Structure 1
Amino acid sequence: MIRLPPKARPEDMLLARDGTLWVAEASLAAIAQIAPSGKVTQHPLPRDEGFAPIPSDLAQSPDGGIWYAAGDQLGHLSRSGKFTWWNDGSSQGNGPGEGDGVPGWPDALALGPDGTIWYEHSAAGRKVFSRVDTKQGPTRITQLDTQFDVGAMTLGPDGAVWFTQRDEYDAKQREGIGRLTPDGKYRKWPLPAGSTPGALVTGPDRALWFTNLGSINRLDTDGSLARYPIRNATYPSDIAVGSDKSLWFTTDHRLGRLTTKGRMTLWPVPDAEELGALVPAEDGSFWLADRKTDTLRRFTPPQ
């Protein structure tokens, strides 16, 4: 177990190929870098006259560093601790995201099909998708004539970027799963009323798997939807593909496993209180972020 500083509130984690664990500490406006030896290095986020950075989503960078979203800040952190970043600043003109080369309050990130980081944000009441790299900075992909919140993004099995979306303005069904192609074409698959889609991952079966109210859901790329209820759970937090090619998820103080055939198993994690982000390790164990106790737990499910 690794203890983070008090009130760190870990929101997201990444496990790099070299064994480094990266953690977004939302309440500290920092990112923790944890070496395989267990050494913790804190990286306070840079800031200027803009809004306070609140890191919430991390994405692996092709160069070995990470990308992060933090309030109106979008940035890259190298393995050596160097920041490259952009924000909207204090003068926002017509609103967040309206200026050239500013991120506009990004919420979710994913490695896109072109090797850059794709993200979503808002501008003048419309939903915008953009890409970013350290050389060119933020550039727009497309702007939609609608507005909604994005919970998570992932590169799909078809070369498009998929995402969970909620609260679409003036839509008959406000929740759904969205898809954006490399040339900027958007499509939405509406979800049943009462859905609250959250974390999202591409499964080993070339389908999209996501957390929902009291369940894990599966969406084929043709739009076929299946729901797998979780007993005694209200809302699962995170989902990932494990080394066994199953779907793993966190819910309250438990770790869950769901096979692509629909078999579900749940394990209570000793002393855990509010599990959020999880990352699988190659040996079959998992790193689990406990938001309530500000700890990172290494847990291996019983055989």
Structure 2
Amino acid sequence: MLTLAGCTGTHRTAVPETSATSATSHPPRTIELPGNSWPRELAMAPDGTLWVVESSIGFLASISPSGRVTQHHLTDALHAPSLDPGYLTIASDGSVWFSCALDIGRITPDGTVRLFHDPPLVYGSPDTITAGSDGSVWYGGTTADGWRLVHITAKLVTSHISVPLHQFGPHITGLAFGPGERLWFTSSPIGNERGEVGYADSHGHTRIWTTDDPFLGPIVPGPDGALWFAERAAIGRITPSGSISYHRAPKMKYTGGLVSGPGNALWFTTSTSLGRITTTGTITLWPIPGARELTDLVYDAHRHGFWVADAEAAVLRWAPLPP
């Protein structure tokens, strides 16, 4: 077991600079963000607060259920002018965890931002991050010697599982727990080699399968017991035993976010549409008015609809649950 550099006396703390940028009595249907923010990932906290990665400006934004936007500036003396967050997740204790080049960060419920440095990682890593049910988090990372899945417990103690991915510099682009508490992952290589999907079990054993496409995105457990993952222009499905199938539809390209949602279905974004795929593989697309480049989505159970991130337009758009 290792302790992350930064968890003891040498840790770096970055105090967030916050400012409310909008407040309404009823949530708006479009939430405007700074023009060059490039909103990338979304996560919904149990209290209804929506969090978004603003990857180009070094902020995380939080949006209250009433629509009030607060900007959390991620910076410190070693990362001036700012960090560039990539992925985020919300732990069971309410802390918001995020990844950025060479660091993992955490915003506690009281608003304190703390950074943890993992020395073996190379620049551009860590990658995607996901939360466990016990207050811990997992993230994917690349080192000079290979790839690993890193576990950080609620007490900030770390361990890792080595993953034998393809040799041409892949990044771990999706993480999710599936049946049997296996941690499933997707990876995308640098270049045109094919992507990979696999899992690590509780004993640290891994299994990996090659996919059709090099560009893989998030992976999520479906209501049918299989794992579903996003490809560049398709949605893939893999059973716990490793049987893979692919599902496509006309005008479906640049699939982004993917979540398990209402209607016993999976929901996703394409470049300008909200998509739904049933467990039998039937796909329906609904164009989002004004959308320019959708990158992620999250289901808001209280309002029965989706928030979608439009990176090119630098806005979050509200999409009611289709009939």
Q: Kindly indicate whether structure 1 or structure 2 has the higher relative contact order, using CA contacts under 8 Å at least 6 residues apart.
A: 2
From 170, 176, 179, the equivalent of 1:154 is: 176
Shift >6 Å, 4+ stretches: none
Equivalent residue number for residue 196 of structure 1: 215
Task: Map Cα deviations across residues 109-142 of structure 1 (whole Å, 9 max, x no partner).
Answer: 11246541011112223112211145325x2322
Compared with structure 1, are the counterparts of its residues 78 and 60 closer, same or farther at alpha carbon in structure 2 (3 Å cutoff)?
same
Contact 1:168–1:175, Cα closer than 8 Å, also in 2: no
Q: What secondary structure, in the 3-state scheme, does the structure 2 residue paired with 1:256 have? A: strand
Contact 2:40–2:52, Cα closer than 8 Å, also in 1: yes
From 36, 42, 50, the equivalent of 1:13 is: 42
Q: What secondary structure, in the 3-state scheme, does the structure 1 residue paired with 2:312 have? A: coil
Alpha-carbon distance between aligned partners in 2 of 1:135 and 1:115, rounded to the nearest angstrom? 9
Contact 2:134–2:154, Cα closer than 8 Å, also in 1: no
Equivalent residue number for residue 210 of structure 1: 229
Displacement after TM superposition at 1:67 (Å)? 0.7
Alpha-carbon distance between aligned partners in 2 of 1:174 and 1:6, rounded to the nearest angstrom? 34
Q: Which runs of 5+ in 1 are unaligned?
A: none
User: Counterpart of 1:241 in structure 2: which amino acid?
Assistant: S
From 147, 161, 164, the equivalent of 1:127 is: 147
Q: What secondary structure, in the 3-state scheme, does the structure 2 residue paired with 1:221 have? A: coil
Contact 2:92–2:134, Cα closer than 8 Å, also in 1: no
Contact 1:87–1:104, Cα closer than 8 Å, also in 2: no
Displacement after TM superposition at 1:245 (Å)? 2.4
Task: Map Cα deviations across residues 130-165 of structure 1 (whole Å, 9 max, x no partner).
Answer: 11145325x232234555321111111220110111
1:229 aligns with 2:248: yes
From 219, 224, 239, the equivalent of 2:258 is: 239
Q: Which runs of 5+ in 2 are unaligned?
A: 1-29
Across the two proteins, how many residue pairs are aligned to each other? 288
Q: When the two structures are superposed, what TM-score results if normalisation uses the length of structure 1?
A: 0.88
Contact 2:194–2:214, Cα closer than 8 Å, also in 1: no
From 191, 195, 203, the equivalent of 1:175 is: 195
Q: Counterparts in 2 of 1:106-125, with a 5 A limit?
A: 106-112=126-132, 115-125=135-145
Displacement after TM superposition at 1:3 (Å)? 0.4
Displacement after TM superposition at 1:276 (Å)? 0.9
Equivalent residue number for residue 70 of structure 1: 100
User: Counterpart of 2:184 in structure 1: which amino acid?
Assistant: W
Equivalent residue number for residue 37 of structure 1: 66
Equivalent residue number for residue 7 of structure 2: none
Alpha-carbon distance between aligned partners in 2 of 1:97 and 1:197, rounded to the nearest angstrom? 21
After superposing the two structures, state which structure 1 stretch, 3-12 or 232-241, moved more. 232-241
From 266, 291, 305, the equivalent of 1:285 is: 305
Task: Map Cα deviations across residues 175-220 of structure 1 (whole Å, 9 max, x no partner).
Answer: 210211122211101223x442212111111111011131111110
Displacement after TM superposition at 1:262 (Å)? 1.6
Alpha-carbon distance between aligned partners in 2 of 1:281 and 1:86, rounded to the nearest angstrom? 31
Equivalent residue number for residue 4 of structure 2: none
1:57 aligns with 2:77: no
Task: Map Cα deviations across residues 236-282 of structure 1 (whole Å, 9 max, x no partner).
Answer: 11111112221101001100111112221110111111111100111
1:142 aligns with 2:161: yes
Equivalent residue number for residue 248 of structure 1: 267
Alpha-carbon distance between aligned partners in 1 of 2:265 and 2:117, rounded to the nearest angstrom? 38
Compared with structure 1, are the counterparts of its residues 202 and 263 closer, same or farther at alpha carbon in structure 2 (3 Å cutoff)?
same
CA RMSD, aligned part only? Answer: 2.3
Contact 1:12–1:23, Cα closer than 8 Å, also in 2: yes
Alpha-carbon distance between aligned partners in 2 of 1:114 and 1:159, rounded to the nearest angstrom? 12
Equivalent residue number for residue 297 of structure 1: 317
Contact 1:211–1:235, Cα closer than 8 Å, also in 2: no
Contact 1:113–1:182, Cα closer than 8 Å, also in 2: no
Equivalent residue number for residue 3 of structure 1: 32
Displacement after TM superposition at 1:301 (Å)? 4.0
Alpha-carbon distance between aligned partners in 2 of 1:134 and 1:81, rounded to the nearest angstrom? 17
Alpha-carbon distance between aligned partners in 1 of 2:162 and 2:77, rounded to the nearest angstrom? 28
Alpha-carbon distance between aligned partners in 2 of 1:107 and 1:48, rounded to the nearest angstrom? 23
Displacement after TM superposition at 1:284 (Å)? 2.7
Compared with structure 1, are the counterparts of its residues 296 and 83 closer, same or farther at alpha carbon in structure 2 (3 Å cutoff)?
same
Q: What secondary structure, in the 3-state scheme, does the structure 2 residue paired with 1:158 have? A: helix
Compared with structure 1, are the counterparts of its residues 113 and 141 closer, same or farther at alpha carbon in structure 2 (3 Å cutoff)?
farther
Contact 2:91–2:132, Cα closer than 8 Å, also in 1: no
